[in-house]
Structure 1
Amino acid sequence: MKTAIYKYIECLIIFILIPVSFTWNYLPLVKFALGVLGFVYVIFVLLKVEGLKFKIAQNLNWKRFIKQTFIKFLIIAFITTIFVWITNKNALFYVLLNKPKLYVFILFVYTFLSVYPQEVIYRTFFFNRYKSLVKNTQLFLLVNAVVFALAHLLFKNILVLVLTFLGGLLFSYTYKKTNSTLLVSIEHALYGCWLFTVGMGSMLGFPG
């Protein structure tokens, strides 16, 4: 399980074949089972093969992280607010203003049942397993952003692919700098929750 050939095949199956297959029309239950089995496999490899231990690092630079993330968030918030205002004014903050209970519930579910597992797979697992296969750091981060975008092919929306590719770049750079699943999950959750808040949630599968 540690040879380069095995890792290439593993990467092909987990990050390309399975996400692409989710665009095909077959039973949702089978897709769900594939997702669960894939996640279980990822956790097994991280713990038993890579010897990774899930714990909060003690030397995290919270001040720097908060400052940089806040600046990026302000830019994203400004651009997306203008975008929704121009393209679909009725959707602007619709769920927040009209369905506050649903809004809070979805943010909670999304953060803990979607964001964190995604970051475990696409940052923690991907970096630990495949970083040694790509010597060029910038190319590796680009590949990570591409496969993260591929994970959203099931939405069949070009804008979603663009947004998740850009998000993938941000998250990969954050993980590279911090080596922290916690910090990159916080950043991912912040941006994702904002898209839902501002009115872009429907294209990403958010209800409401």
Structure 2
Amino acid sequence: MHILRWLELTAFFLCTPLLLMRLVSDLNTWLMPILGAIGMVCLVLLLVDPTFKRFRLINIVEFRQHFRSSILLFIPSATLLLVVLYSIAPEHAFTLPLQHTQLWLLTLLIYPLVSVVPQEIIFRTFFFHRYKKIIPSKAWRWIASSMCFGLAHVVYANWIAVILSMFAGILFGYRYMQTRSTPIVILEHTLWGSLLFSTGIGMFFLTQ
């Protein structure tokens, strides 16, 4: 059983991103539908698993406290990212909202639903539960999920997306362990993703 679960993890989280990058020529069209389909499969597997605690999908206990903690981290970190962006690529700063306002607004509107929600179901809720038996240590599951989250962004064909996503995975995984709440992590992920697309850093998260 453990061997099969390890094979599943390897195929799902390591091989799939690499195969998508190599075999799917039109990622702009197919990436979000594929992500949504995988997220739906993971959600179904969770819901049919009697050992899964479904309250994690709707848990908003101590929401204000956790949201405050997210904001206190977000503000200085976002400021630092902006300083770095202005230092290395000032020409890309705020290009989307300034030059493509309608696209920017549409992105902020649909991004949480089509991207953030499936990602958090897959890489946090599903990963932490599904692989508990083969990775009993929560800390190691945290590390593994963060690495897999970073690797998943190899489809964007640049290492900046992979590295930034790995650090994001560390943050989101930590928040999930703290809160045991998918909605709270979805909110924090949305906050950071919206920042990236608003400031110009999101250029590294576009398919080639």
Residue range with higher mean Cα deviation, 22-31 or 100-109: 22-31
> Equivalent residue for 2:197?
196
Is the aligned partner of 1:9 residue 2:7?
yes
Percent same amino acid among aligned pairs? Answer: 26
> Shift in Å at residue 202 of structure 1?
1.3
Does structure 2 retain, via aligned residues, the 8 Å contact 1:175–1:184? yes
Q: Which amino acid aligns with 2:19?
A: S
Deviations 1:20-39 (A, max 9, x none): 11221444489657545533
Name the counterpart of 2:86: 85
What's 2:106 paired with?
A: 105
Question: Structure 1 residue runs of 4+, over 6 Å off?
Answer: none
Q: Is the 8 A contact 1:14 1:38 kept in 2?
A: no
SS at the partner of 1:49?
A: coil
Aligned: 1:119 with 2:120 = yes
Please tell me whether residue 171 in structure 1 is matched to residue 172 in structure 2: yes
- TM-aligned CA distance change 1:37 to 1:99, over 3 Å: closer
- Deviation, 1:64, is 1.8
Tell me whether 1:182 sits opposite 2:148 in the alignment. Answer: no
Q: Look up the equivalent residue of 1:160 and give its one-letter code.
A: A
Aligned residues: 204
Provide, for residues 106-161 of structure 1, a one-character-per-residue CA deviation record: whole Å limited to 9, x for no partner.
01111111001100011111011012322333222111100000110111211111
- CA distance in 1 between counterparts of 2:136 and 2:81 reads 35
| 1:19 partner letter | P
The TM-score with structure 2 as length reference comes to 0.88
Displacement of 1:90 in angstroms is 2.0
The aligned runs of 1:26-37 (5 Å cut-off) are 26-28=24-26, 35=35, 37=37
Structure 1 length normalisation: TM-score?
0.88
Matched residue type, 2:39: F
- CA distance in structure 2 between the aligned counterparts of 1:53 and 1:7, rounded to whole angstroms: 21
| Secondary structure in 2 matching 1:44 | helix
1:157 aligned onto 2:158:
yes
**1:175-194, Cα deviation, whole Å (9 max, x unpaired):** 00111110001001100110
Aligned 8 A contact 2:150 2:165 in 1: yes
> Could you say which residue in structure 1 is the equivalent of 2:58?
56
Gaps of 5+ in 2: none
Find the aligned partners of 1:191 and 1:151 in 2 and give their Cα distance. Answer: 17
Structure 1 segments unaligned to the other structure (5+ residues): none
Say whether the 8 Å CA contact 1:22–1:31 is kept in structure 2. no
Question: In structure 1, what is the Cα distance between the partners aligned to 2:69 and 2:13?
Answer: 29
Residue 57 (structure 1) shift: 2.3
C-alpha change, 1:119 and 1:69, in structure 2 (3 Å) is same
Q: Distance in 2 between matches of 1:183 and 1:36?
A: 19
